[in-house]
Amino acid sequence: MRSFLKLAAVLSFVVVTASAPAAAPSAAVMQGTGPAFQSIGPLAFAPDGTLFAGDTTSAAIFAVDLGTAANGGAQGSAVVEGIDQKIAAVLGTAANEIAITDLAVHPKTKQSYVSVMRGLGAAAKPALVRVDGAGAITLVAMDALKFSKVGLTNVPDAAAQRRQSIMDIAVTNGRIFVAGLSNEEFASKMWSIAYPFTTADRGTSIEIFHGNHGRLETRSPIFSFVPYTVDGKATLIAGYLCTPLVKIPVDSLSAGTKVVGTTIAELGNQNRPIDMIVYKKDGRDFLLMSNTARGVMKIPTATFGSETPITAPVPTGTAGVKYETIASMTGIEQLDLLDATRTIVIAKAADGTRSLQIVVLP
């Protein structure tokens, strides 16, 4: 589940430079101390090191000043075998009792932050851990951290749908983009929320044509997205279940309206996108997407602006923008951009164990 800051180092929305840890966020934008998460899922960093996190149970987005938690430990990230087992040990439980929900790299320290739910079902509790450049895993204590938050008001009440109220978040140019489901007839939503927080509006309904399903859809949520500039225009590139790739112009997002996204690829059915980043390689931009059933896809972005929209059924399974499957990257569940040449990933092995790995961008 990814965020804009996963591609900020290489794209034109935001430029992040590697240096010493950023100064703390302005106290004026923080409203209290001790963020009381009920759940924790998608993560995204702002350039100053403010951490944004989605809480689906309370249907809220938190902005957290990590304070001294962002300044300790060795700089950078490290390979950690058995990351799930080691996080579970820090939390005082077993690996099969935790769920890793996202991974994000701090824009300054390059340390990895992992959001985790400890326990199963309604009894699960949220936690945030930091992995530093020496591989040390530290539980981030929330009690003293400054925070602000904004709630989404038009989200589903049913627990199963509420879990999809915040599917992914991204941060850019003083706004937080949130993809998820609302309680409205056209349920698929993209919220664009100003930061510092005041209130969240009702968001924009997103309709797409799904070639593999052969129909227009308004209730399928965006599972992962990244902001990207297409033909000089700020755009969101979004991945859906079974697996349409869609572009949505940012300037089309207006509260209370409905926007029809442009489907530029069908990447195959019986599949779900998990996470995505954009990076530059040999002077060209690529989208790297992890999936549940079709491996890691490397997708060139050069034709995103010119690709013929998919508006008719796709019986062959794939159409539009082509992709390459990266055979060397298997079991990838989460990924983030570590630097200009490497990605950091959480990979699941055949025996079910997970590791934190650093991989050269393909």
The mean pLDDT of 276-295, rounded to a whole number, is: 97
Q: Is the pLDDT of residue 69 over 60?
A: yes
Structure tokens at 231: 């033909």
Question: Residue 226 sits in a domain of what CATH number?
Answer: 2.130.10
Give tens-digit pLDDT for 303-341. Answer: 999 999 999 999 988 999 999 999 999 999 999 999 999
Q: Which domain holds residue 122?
A: 4-360
Considering only CA atoms, which of 191, 212, 229 is closest in space to residue 10? 229
Rounded CA separation 108/23 (Å): 10
Considering only CA atoms, which of 270, 267, 271 is closest in space to residue 298? 267
Query: What residues does 258 pair with on adjacent strands?
Result: 205
153-170 burial: b if 16+ Cβ within 10 Å, else e = ebbbeeeebbbbbbbbbb
Rounded CA separation 261/206 (Å): 7
pTM of the model: 0.91
Count up the domains in the chain and report the number. 1
Between 162 and 63, whose confidence is greater?
63
Q: How far is CA 340 from CA 17, 279, 286, in A?
A: 11, 7, 12
Q: For the chain, what percent of residues have pLDDT higher than 90?
A: 85
For 289, phi then psi, to 5°, come to -125, 125
Per-residue pLDDT band for 122 (boundaries 50, 70, 90) equals confident
Cβ contacts of residue 346 below 8 Å, gap of 6+? 83, 100, 103, 114, 332, 333, 334, 335, 354, 355, 356, 357
The mean pLDDT of 14-37, rounded to a whole number, is: 58
Give tens-digit pLDDT for 176-221. Answer: 999 999 999 999 999 999 999 999 999 999 999 999 999 999 999 9
